[in-house]
Amino acid sequence: MRSIWKGAISFGLVTIPVKLYSATEQRDVAFHQVHREDGGRIKYKRVCTIDGEEVPYSDIAKGYELPSGEMVILTDEDFADLPLSSSRRIDVLQFVEREEVDPIYFAKSYYLEPDAQGAKPYVLLRDALESSGQVAIVKVALRQRESLATLRVSEGVFVLETMLWPDEVRTPDFPFLEEDIEVRKQELSMATSLIESMEGDFDPGEYKDAYREALQAVIDAKVEGREVARPAEEGEEEPAADLLSALRASVEAAKKSRGEKSGKAASGKGAPAKKPAARKTASSKSGEKKEPAKSRGRKSA
């Protein structure tokens, strides 16, 4: 991995120099726009709508359009004068319980690696944060934009998760929320049974991107000059007579599916891989048992 940003975690009077890396990547199949007849790449020119001339990238600025249609032009100098107090710093603002942060605010995840001289304070803060069971709320400026973020520990490293600002999260406003919809006790009970029948430990390795695999198979077949093998279409199930019947049938199907999976696991087929041994902390190396973190009550609004 290649670092995309260098800065420091600012925690009280402690400064921890770190490098930042993207923690995720999209595995989509990339395409180019091409001419259907000869496969030639399609290219675009930056053309001014006023004089019709092609504009070099060095002459392109950012413009903000007013309601009147007039354009306010901003230059690099205008952006350079903006106050980004947390530039090149990850400022720790407070610590909160994990459950207090709604996942809807999360935008993108990054790994933080300490510089050589920052390894000890990095490990110290990491172990303290991990044992507390909390996450740090921080402020950081990335790509000339200031963001709130959380700092948590995963697999022995800090994970920085940038967040949306509150006014960037839309409020759900749907007509059904104002309707008085009655749910029968039997339906609620059956829905609860369906949830219980589908409970299990989350293992992301059990899932795959079937569309991407099929698309790659089509590309490979074209490269090799083979016919594309199309998967057989699944037969459509008959719709249930009512909601309760649909729930009951779903519970039975879930139980049957779980029984088949447990049978495969018992025979050694499809058994999940063993989880790696937990990372030893400094306290475990010395033989001391770590006290469980005390859970704080959620603050009322």
Contact between 289 and 280 under an 8 Å Cβ cutoff? The reply is no
Mean pLDDT of the region 205-216: 87
Residue 125: other Cβ atoms inside 10 A: 21
Query: What is the rounded CA–CA span in Å between residue 91 and residue 8?
Result: 8
Q: What single letter denotes the amino acid at residue 3?
A: S
User: Average pLDDT in the 81-97 region?
Assistant: 83
Backbone phi, then psi, for 99, in 5-degree steps? -70, -15
Pick from 136, 153, 17: nearest CA to 88:
17
Give the pLDDT band (50/70/90) at residue 296.
very low
From 271, 273, 233, 237, select the one nearest 253 (Cα to Cα).
237
Whether the Cβ atoms of residue 82 and residue 89 lie closer than 8 Å to each other: no
pLDDT at 237 over 70: no
Range from 60-69, 210-219, 270-279 carrying the lowest mean pLDDT: 270-279
> Which tens digits make up the pLDDT trace of 139-165?
998 877 889 999 999 999 999 999 999
Residue 108, beta-bridge partner list: 162
Phi-psi region of 146 (alpha: psi -120 to 50; beta: other; left: phi over 0): beta
pLDDT at residue 292 is higher than 50: no
pLDDT at 72 over 90: yes
Looking only at the bridges linking them, the beta strands covering 106-114 and 145-154 are unpaired
Q: What is the DSSP string of the chain?
A: ----EEEEEEETTEEEEEEEEE-----PPP---B-TTT-PBP----B-TTT--B--GGG--EEEE-TTS-EEEE-HHHHHTS--TTBTEEEEEEEEEGGGS-GGGEEEEEEEEE-GGGHHHHHHHHHHHHHHTEEEEEEEEETTEEEEEEEEEETTEEEEEEE--GGGSPPP--GGGGS-----HHHHHHHHHHHHHT-----GGG---HHHHHHHHHHHHHHHTPPPPPPPPPPPPPPPSSHHHHHHHHHHHHHHHHHHHHHHHHTTSSPPPPPPPPPPPHHHHTTPPPPPPPPPPPPP-
Q: Which residue has the higher pLDDT, 231 or 75?
A: 75
CA angle 196/199/202 to nearest 5° reads: 165
Amino acid at 113: E
Indicate whether 232 pLDDT > 50: yes
| CATH code for the part of the protein at 3-168 | 2.40.290.10
Domain edges within the chain:
3-168
pLDDT at position 47: 95
The pLDDT tens digits for 18-50 are 999 999 988 888 899 999 999 899 999 999 999
Distance CA 256, CA 197 (A): 10
pTM: 0.70
